[in-house]
Amino acid sequence: MKKILLVVLFALLPFSLNAESNLDKILSAGVLKVGTTGDWDPMTMKDPATNKYKGFDIDVMNELAKDMGVKVEFVPTEWKTIVSGITSARYDISTSVTKTPKRAEVAGFTDTYYKYGTVPLVLKKNLKKFSTWDSLN
């Protein structure tokens, strides 16, 4: 978990040579603002009964804030605006965002702390029908 938190902490480093870094601003405010959609189980979900966020990414951000000695504030966002929330300083960090060339032009990305992949899923009885990527189309 410490290794994960170290990787995430690097996301908070400044992307420019501002007089006060993003990390300094977070520490002086005492709050880490985290943009989250709350709709991606099991990473981030908003529990309708409690109106609180839960999930793997939520746990990671809570631990990061604890290690930094600050409080965490989860800021609701949508996937289509998740990067602009970073660039407009609406929140300090977000998680589970896919790195694309377009996004990397405007936002900083750390190394991944959790790897997952997308795989085709077919009925077992149809497994032999699919032997190449083209056969999936």
How many domains in the chain? 1
CA pair distance 61, 73, nearest whole angstrom: 10
pTM of the model: 0.71
The phi and psi torsions of 123 (rounded to 5 degrees) equal: -65, 140
For 121-134, the pLDDT digits (tens) are 889 999 888 888 88
pLDDT of residue 47: 94
Instruction: Quote the domain boundaries for residue 74.
Output: 2-136
Question: Which residues, 6 or more positions from 79, have their beta carbon under 8 angstroms from its beta carbon?
Answer: 37
pLDDT of residue 115: 79
CATH number at residue 13: 3.40.190.10
pLDDT of residue 54: 97
Q: How far apart are the first and last CA of the chain?
A: 40
For 2-56, the pLDDT digits (tens) are 556 555 555 554 444 455 788 999 999 999 999 999 999 999 999 999 999 999 9
